[in-house]
Amino acid sequence: MSSNLAAKLREGTKKSHSMAENVGFVKCFLKGVVEKNSYRKLVSNLYFVYSAMEEEMDQHQHHPILSKIYFPELNRKAALEKDLYYYYGSNWREQITPSPAAEAYVQRIHEISKTDPELLVAHSYTRYLGDLSGGQILKGIAQRGMNLTDGNGTAFYEFNNIPDEKQFKATYRQAMNDLPIDDATADRIVDEANAAFGMNMKLFQELEGNLIKAIGSMLFNTLTRRRTRGSTELATAD
pLDDT tens digits for range 159-180: 999 999 999 999 999 999 999 9
In this prediction, residue 219 carries a pLDDT of 46
The answer as to whether 228 is a domain residue is no
| Count of the separate structural domains present in the chain | 1
The answer as to whether 236 is a domain residue is no
Q: Which domain holds residue 156?
A: 5-223
Half-sphere exposure of 197 (CA within 13 A, CB side): 22
Phi then psi dihedrals of residue 90, to 5 deg: -65, -25
Give the whole-angstrom CA distance, residue 96 versus residue 206. 15
Reference 172, options 213, 130, 139, 141; nearest CA is 130
Give the model confidence (pLDDT) of 40-77 as tens digits.
999 999 999 999 999 999 999 999 999 999 999 999 99
Q: Are 118 and 185 in contact (CB under 8 A)?
A: yes
The answer as to whether 19 is a domain residue is yes
User: DSSP character for 1?
Assistant: -
Question: b vs e for 126-153, b when ≥16 Cβ sit within 10 Å of the residue's Cβ?
Answer: bbbbebbeebeebbebbbebbebeeeeb
The answer as to whether 80 is a domain residue is yes
What value does the mean pLDDT of the chain take? Answer: 89
Reference 189, options 48, 2, 10, 1; nearest CA is 10
User: DSSP character for 180?
Assistant: S
Q: Which band of pLDDT confidence, cut at 50, 70 and 90, is reported for residue 134? A: confident
Q: Which band of pLDDT confidence, cut at 50, 70 and 90, is reported for residue 222? A: very low
The answer as to whether 183 is a domain residue is yes
Q: Which band of pLDDT confidence, cut at 50, 70 and 90, is reported for residue 217? A: very low
User: DSSP character for 35?
Assistant: -
The answer as to whether 235 is a domain residue is no
In this prediction, residue 223 carries a pLDDT of 47
Given a cut of 60, is residue 218 above it in pLDDT? no
The answer as to whether 74 is a domain residue is yes
% the chain with pLDDT above 70: 87
The answer as to whether 65 is a domain residue is yes
Q: Are 203 and 106 in contact (CB under 8 A)?
A: no
The three state secondary structure string of 45-102 is HHHHHHHHHHHHHHHCCCCCCHHHHCCHHHCCHHHHHHHHHHHHCCCHHHHCCCCHHH
Which CATH number belongs to the domain containing residue 73 in this structure?
1.20.910.10
